[in-house]
């Protein structure tokens, strides 16, 4: 069992480009966690920009202003020592390093909505589908983990939702 923390549980969402899936996860958990979590995101090979449809989906569907979002690398957040790392793509899972402090790792593989080609509406729907999956998992996770600030409890609950 992990020790219970006297601060919010630090959760890092990790994907390849840190432009879509991990950004969606970061900002959805910020909203849903109601201060119980410090939510971060990063990429194994960041694109350097947040996809505009990620920002639009957060704003229009969830009422979340993510204007402050930026695409970051794993090294940009490594010193923050996350308690739990949730990889949201297979590449990030395979390249995820051992984090200082021994962060627990969970994998939630999701298709990359930024890779979808097609009309604006088709691309928008891809972002919406990804956001809905993340939102639903995070709602369940916040309920399952409750107010517990134990990284092990959180990680086990997250694994059940993969």
Annotated catalytic residue, options 42, 89, 106, 110: 89
User: For residues 4 and 20, what is the distance between their CA atoms, to the nearest angstrom?
Assistant: 31
**How many other β-carbons are positioned within 10 Å of the β-carbon of residue 147?**
7
Helix (H, G, I), strand (E, B) or coil at 107: strand
Whole-number Cα distances in Å, 20 to 78, 98, 147, 151:
20, 23, 28, 25
Annotated catalytic residue, options 9, 11, 14, 15: 15
User: For residues 46 and 12, what is the distance between their CA atoms, to the nearest angstrom?
Assistant: 14
96 belongs to the catalytic site? yes
Annotated catalytic residue, options 96, 104, 134, 155: 96
User: For residues 161 and 42, what is the distance between their CA atoms, to the nearest angstrom?
Assistant: 21
142 belongs to the catalytic site? no
Active site (catalytic) residues: 15, 89, 96
């Amino acid at each position: 069992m992990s020790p219970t923390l006297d601060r919010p549980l630090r959760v890092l969402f990790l994907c390849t480009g840190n432009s879509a899936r991990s950004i969606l996860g970061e900002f959805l958990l910020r909203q849903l966690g109601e201060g119980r979590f410090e939510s971060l995101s990063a990429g194994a090979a960041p694109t350097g920009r947040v996809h505009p449809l990620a920002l639009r989906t957060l704003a229009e569907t969830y009422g979340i202003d993510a204007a402050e979002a930026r695409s970051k690398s794993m090294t940009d957040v490594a010193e923050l020592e996350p308690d739990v790392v949730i990889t949201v793509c297979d590449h990030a899972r395979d390249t995820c390093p051992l984090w200082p402090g021994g962060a627990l790792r969970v994998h939630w593989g999701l298709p990359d909505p930024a890779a979808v080609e097609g009309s604006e509406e088709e691309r928008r729907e891809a972002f919406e589908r990804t956001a809905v999956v993340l939102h639903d998992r995070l709602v369940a996770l916040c309920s399952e983990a409750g107010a517990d600030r134990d990284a092990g409890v959180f990680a086990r609950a997250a694994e059940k939702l993969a």
